[in-house]
Amino acid sequence: MLLRDVATGKLEIGSLAIGNVTIGRPWVQAALSGYSDLAMRRVARRYGAPYALNEVVIDEKVLQRGKGRERVLFVPDDDHPVGGQLMGSAPENFALAARDLVDAGYDVIDINFGCPVGKVLGRCRGGYLLGQPRIAIDIVERVVESVAGRRPVTVKLRRGVDDSPESEAKFFEILDAIFAAGVAAVTVHGRTVAQKYEGQSSTDFLRRVKAHAGVRTVLASGDLFTAEDVLRVLAATGCDGATIARGAIGNPFVFENCDRVASGAEAKVPSLDEQATAIRLHLAEALRLCKDASRAVGATRRHAVQYARLHPDAIACRDAWCTVRCQAEFERVCRDFYDAA
């Protein structure tokens, strides 16, 4: 619960823990498909993220030998605490993949029942499982059993498949059963699967979920793009923490700003020099991970396009990033739009 000190304007913020994993500040980086690789996580930690999740991984990909598996199972010493998020449809694969993630060094195993993407739903994964309580519960029970107390297990949920009473009943059936199975925390996105990313995330639903869960740990998700959004949803819902997803792409500064707003200060707009420092750091981390410089530049460009939202000339800056194909061009955009300015 958040309490504001009238005299100082500061908020009393509870410390977040997931099972036996101490997180600290209750605003964390979500799993972001195609984005939250090691480079993004390292940058986020540099700017105050106390916990981050790897991008979602299909359970079968974890179990298949090859470079993809090696990349997923690489957890360096500076990437802690870190969550590994799994998605799939077969309960037995989930359990085996979870065990591999634990052996690799992930601190938390997260299960994705929230993805609303059409091709994911068509393969009976992600948000599809919110409409299949028996399968969803079986998956969670098997994963909890497979890690046998070695790591806490968390689950990412949406508000339901759609707005129907039947869908909501299935949500709470799953919620109660997975907490009973031993899940340490849940993250709940306030939109339905049918909504995808349209319309507003329901703060009222998040408030009802936290009230229903009681002392059990619930993290809020959805429409968290600024520090003010994060503090507002925590205050309105009573949730124990918040996972920042799209709001963290190209904006690692959001984590420091959460600290600032909680302390009674205003959020800070990063200077152009600070933005350039973060962008260059992101590329440097990508280059550390990838021997192919062009691939590292391509991966970082996706983030740089989002960093452009913070630039005073956002559209021109975004368009310039879209043309970058090599390291020299990357540096040229940094000089033209950040250093020169």
For the annotated catalytic residues, the residue numbers are 115
171 close to 189: Cβ distance less than 8 angstroms: no
> Nearest-5° angle of CA 4, CA 10, CA 12?
60
243 close to 274: Cβ distance less than 8 angstroms: no
| Phi/psi at 111 (5° precision) | -110, 130
Structure tokens, 69: 């598996």
Radius of gyration of the chain (CA): 20
246-269 residues labelled b (16+ CB within 10 A) or e (exposed): bbbbbbbbbbbbbeebbeeeebee
Which residues have CB under 8 Å from 149's CB, separation 6+?
A: none
Peptide bond into 81 cis (omega under 30): yes
Please tell me the distance from the alpha carbon of residue 102 to that of residue 97, in angstroms, as a whole number: 9
Please tell me the distance from the alpha carbon of residue 255 to that of residue 19, in angstroms, as a whole number: 22
The sign of the dihedral angle between the CA atoms of 319, 329, 270, 198 is positive
167 close to 131: Cβ distance less than 8 angstroms: yes
Please tell me the distance from the alpha carbon of residue 163 to that of residue 169, in angstroms, as a whole number: 11
Which residues have CB under 8 Å from 48's CB, separation 6+?
A: 25, 252, 255, 256, 258, 259
The sign of the dihedral angle between the CA atoms of 104, 64, 152, 42 is positive
| Phi/psi at 257 (5° precision) | -65, -30
